[in-house]
Amino acid sequence: EKEEEGAPKKPEIDQDGHRIYSRWRIFSLGAMIGVCFGMLQVGVPAVTGMLLDKPVYLIPQPYLDTTTMTEGLLPAVPTGLVIDPGIVLTGMVLPFWAIMGSFAAIAATSVVNPLLRAGGVLAQWQPGMNTVNTTFVNSVDFWMSFGFGAAAAIAAVSVFSTVRDVVRKSRARRARLALHAGSSAQDARAAQLGSLWRTPNLGRGDYPVWLAVAIYAVASVAMVLLCNALVKGILPFLIVFCFLYNPFISYINARLMGLTGQAVAIPFVREGAFILSGSQSLDIWLAPIPVENYGAFSQTFRVNELTGVRFTSLMKAEALALPCLCLFSFLFWAFIWKASPIPSEMFPAAQLNWDLMVKSNTLLWSSTFHPDVAGGAAEVVRGFADTEFAKAVHPVAMLAGGGVTVGLFALFGLLGLPTLFVYGVVRGLGALPHTMVLEIVGALVGRYYFQRKFGSSNFLRMGPTIMAGYFTGAGLISMAAIAMNLIRSAVSSAPF
């Protein structure tokens, strides 16, 4: 029967009988949550900072540090909580088993750290240390080396699984091509693509491959000359990365993204290359060394193709955006830098995070800082062994990290369990638990309440939408607060 005019529209129902809500309605809900929380988190400190000597924070920023409160029960364990609903929403969207792996890592760290402290491994930790100092000394004593080993093991496992998937996909592709050989669709696609060096005629604005190679070569030569002028004595190192490593790893990842949807990365390539380059100063860490992986752009170009964006249009947009970005970035940086001392109570996140970042970078950069070494390979090796970074590298901890990671992958593969759990474990071991606590809450609430209430597939579509709305609402309040402070800075410095 025909619906009566003016009658309310019936709600859409999915195949499981759950109502499908409008995306705009869900986005608006998330935006309003973000606006309300943003007023408390960002708006109140911004307004009070303009009127008072010190801003008033209703919510601890950037996190609530409880390390000194729990050190009697959990010695050498950094504890705290980031109060932000966005983290709960993120936990609802991220893969469930990866979050559970992080939970297992937090629980394991809470048990392992006191044991390591009792065994004398975490020897530098002292009662009274806050989150930043506890995290740093634990990293120096154990967790940094453990992370090196775990990262190397993940890289090895990823390479193995990726090669295996590529072989399987290649065999299936050859079989499919052989089955459909001679079909009109296959012949048309082959005619469009042609040879490797022929410009594809797919209506995407493709330009010749030789031109792309020439542009990259010119840009790379310019970058090599710039870096060589800034840091002397590393020209062979620059040539290897610009003309060998970068194209190789980018091509491999571009092919992998197309064949398997996966990417492979070699951990700590940049840091290891800097240490092996023979540089004996800090300059190399501050120079714009061209160590890049451009393989992910293949996925971006595929998205542009599906949405009808031509390469020429993309280049025009970049040519317009880049000068504006450079100009306005310097403008806003100047305003923000002069608005208040950095770090200070006006910027609580920088005040805490910069402390940890500076300590970590100083430790890493010390690996090339041995100016008293006269020269020669033996002297350089001896100079590196005397650096603080070398003293913080513990081979036993590295082997433990690699062994635990490979063992977990093997065990989960044997039992048929999700390997995302292992990635979550590696991500969480030795890391700050402050954000992961609410991520775990979001994952549990999303899986065992909202997915049952709205349906699994329906909620998995709703989650990213409400999260996008939340960060949009919170971002609007943040931008408004920044704008008010910029206006105040401009007015207060005016002569009238």
pLDDT digits (tens, 9 = 90+) for 197-214: 666 666 677 778 888 889
The answer to whether position 221 is within a domain reads no
Q: Looking at per-residue confidence, does 166 or 114 come out higher?
A: 114
- Domain membership flag for residue 376: no
User: Which residues, other chains included, contact 430 with Cβ-Cβ below 8 Å and sequence gap of 6+?
Assistant: 109, 138, 139, 142, 143, 144, 146, 147
- Each residue's pLDDT tens digit, 256-283: 776 656 666 777 788 888 887 777 778 8
How many domains does one find in the chain? 1
Residue 131 lies in a domain: yes
> How does pLDDT run across 122-177, given as a tens digit for each residue?
999 999 999 999 999 999 999 989 988 988 888 888 778 777 877 887 777 777 76
292, part of any domain: no
**Residue 122, domain extent:** 11-151+394-495
Residue 307 lies in a domain: no
353 by Cβ neighbours in 10 Å (0-12 / 13-18 / 19+) ranks as: middle
200 part of a folded domain: no
Is residue 101 a part of any domain in this protein?
A: yes
Return the DSSP state at 15: T
Q: Is residue 243 part of a domain?
A: no
Q: How far apart are CA 245 and CA 227, in angstroms?
A: 17
Q: What is the pLDDT of residues 222-264, one digit of tens each?
A: 999 988 888 887 788 888 888 988 888 888 778 777 665 666 6
Cβ 405 vs Cβ 85: under 8 Å: no
Closest CA to 308 of 202, 209, 212, 207: 202
